[in-house]
Structure 1
Amino acid sequence: MTAPVLVTGSGGKLGRVLRKVWQEERRFRPLWQVRRDPGPGDLLWQIGAPWTGPSLAGGVVVHLAGGRGDLAGNVTLAEAVCRLAEEEGAAHVFLASSSAVYAPDDHADLHETTKPAPGSDYGRSKLAMEQALAHRPHVTFLRIGNVFGCDSLIGNARFVRAVSLTPAPGRAGGPMRSYIGPVSFGRVLGDLIALALRGQPLPRVLNFGLDPAVTMAGLLDAAGFDWAYGPPSPDVLARLVLDVSALGALVDLPKADPAAMAAEWRVLGMDAGARA
């Protein structure tokens, strides 16, 4: 029987991407957890409540759910999910962390061994989650960069006539980031899940994105949005680039290409309502 994969927070941005990308997935059987208003095939379950779903024995848990504005709740939710996985006999848990646990670096790519130094409450909450669950076996923290269309840049650009891009001093194209297209996000995560289901040991922490890094101007151009540089800001994060060599050693990764990522965004219908 196909192994179960519980996806918490499946109604969020990343969860909705996975629902589309995994429609034809045959290596495992997704269980789409929601907190309210379940649709056909959804699993209504409040994280932390007694489990009422099917057995998760030998399966995988992908924890995407957040604290709905309560950042401290990220730790509580992750702890509850890990307890469930242990009680149910799940083989592995992937917890969604973030590149926000790192401090920007103008020169070096950020490796999993780079000392975290989050500069935002969101980043600090994700790091607190990692630290609280560091003792748990069979857990991988995915330090996800930016998923095209689920990010603030492209996600918000759909609703304005022209984007004002904060320049990055000395960097043509504005700030530089690690990105992955939405279809590639689902495929790469699916490949990691398949490894976990086969019993392959996985790292405690994995940076999640594609190489090379891309500029925000290049992303906006690929998506077809009108934009212009706005006023400079001393708070601009000019460069936050992940070293994804550990991820690339486990699964096949495409090259980061803004045009390809924009094409994935359109294929999934995520450009609906864009005012380009």
Structure 2
Amino acid sequence: MSDDLKVLVIGGTGRVGRMLRRHWRAAPPRGMALTYQARQGGDITWDASDGPGALAAHGPFDRLLVLAGVTPGPGVDARADMAQNVEIARACQAAAAQMGAAHMLLASSSAVYGTALSRPYREDDRPAPTSPYGKAKLAAEAAVQSGAPAVCALRIGNVLGADALMLNAARAKAQAPLMLDRFADGHGPLRSYIGPATLAGVLETLLEAGPGLPETLNIGAPAPVAMQSLLEASDTPYRMRPAPPEAVQTVTLDCGALATLHAFPPQAATAPQMVAEWHRLRDAP
């Protein structure tokens, strides 16, 4: 009988999920057996509206990794559709309890913090989301905090390749370059990012740790990265423009707690490394 940790990944066909699957297909995590759920095209076909029992019937599993959720985009109703994030989180936790899982990782977002602080956000900072997405992710966290099994909400920064910058970069051309805000100091935005392969390694560490994890954990590379550096490393044509008054230059995460749990590769926080990971794992052009 295998002693591998049995992990059910919820949301294996989203932008992040597709990159993680490609990574794990090429480099299967040691000591783990991964099963993927999707509404279509997964090992398990399930939708939150089917109820937790329908998902639990596919168990048992030791861990759940919940990547599924509604994100901003064309055709997404900011109030109605975003509320599905709470429904998904609750259904997955209930299913996890029924199938005997000891722990669940829930993909949340750094958007729960808002944008008011110029210093890096810590897990003990009071969330103050300003967007419907951030509010929905915070509500999803709250919906599963007091239930069983225990849940660690992963407040993820930007995953390179699944973020708006790289989605826009893919459409940029020399005659129609991407426009990047330039602030008073002459620089552009600074954000917390993580490459998709580095994220896979982080998730492996956290899945192994399981119930020993805190309720919330910031997820990003050890240092933030300038968007200009990412555009230059990806050879994206871009042009700077004066930032509008409402633009925010710095939104970053303090990932010190994560660094005590996971040993990052030396180049994990560099733009060239993140771009290389994205190029290796992205959808075919």
The TM-score, its normalising length taken from structure 1, stands at 0.90
Note the residue ranges of structure 2 that are not aligned, 5 or more in a row. none
2: distance between equivalents of 1:201 and 1:6?
A: 19
Q: Does 1:135 align with 2:136?
A: no
1: distance between equivalents of 2:256 and 2:163?
A: 22
Q: 2:101 aligns with which of 90, 93, 102?
A: 90
CA contact (8 A) 1:67 1:77 kept: no
Q: What does residue range 59-98 of structure 1 map to in structure 2 within 5 Å?
A: 59-67=62-70, 69=76, 70-98=81-109
- Structure 1 pair 33–104 and aligned structure 2 pair: CA distance change class (3 A): same
- Structure 1 pair 235–56 and aligned structure 2 pair: CA distance change class (3 A): farther
Q: 1:154 aligns with which of 163, 166, 180?
A: 166
Q: Which amino acid aligns with 2:101?
A: A
**Percentage identity across paired residues of the two chains:** 38
Q: CA RMSD in A?
A: 1.7
Number of equivalent positions:
264
SS in 2 for 1:17: helix
CA contact (8 A) 2:155 2:219 kept: yes
Query: For residue 204 of structure 2, what is the aligned residue in structure 1?
Result: 190
SS in 2 for 1:166: strand
1: distance between equivalents of 2:120 and 2:219?
A: 13
Q: Greater shift after overlay, 20-29 or 203-212?
A: 20-29
SS in 2 for 1:25: coil
CA contact (8 A) 2:172 2:236 kept: no
Q: 2:29 aligns with which of 21, 25, 34?
A: 25
Deviation digits for residues 143-199 of structure 1, max 9, x if unmatched?
A: 000011110001221022111012233252x11000111110111111111222xxx
1: distance between equivalents of 2:58 and 2:235?
A: 44
Query: For residue 103 of structure 1, what is the aligned residue in structure 2?
Result: 114
Q: Greater shift after overlay, 59-68 or 220-229?
A: 59-68
CA contact (8 A) 1:105 1:239 kept: no
Q: Which amino acid aligns with 2:218?
A: N
Query: For residue 43 of structure 1, what is the aligned residue in structure 2?
Result: 44
Q: 1:167 aligns with which of 182, 186, 189?
A: 182
Query: For residue 210 of structure 1, what is the aligned residue in structure 2?
Result: 221
The TM-score, its normalising length taken from structure 2, stands at 0.87
CA contact (8 A) 1:169 1:238 kept: no
1: distance between equivalents of 2:217 and 2:182?
A: 29
Query: For residue 254 of structure 2, what is the aligned residue in structure 1?
Result: 243
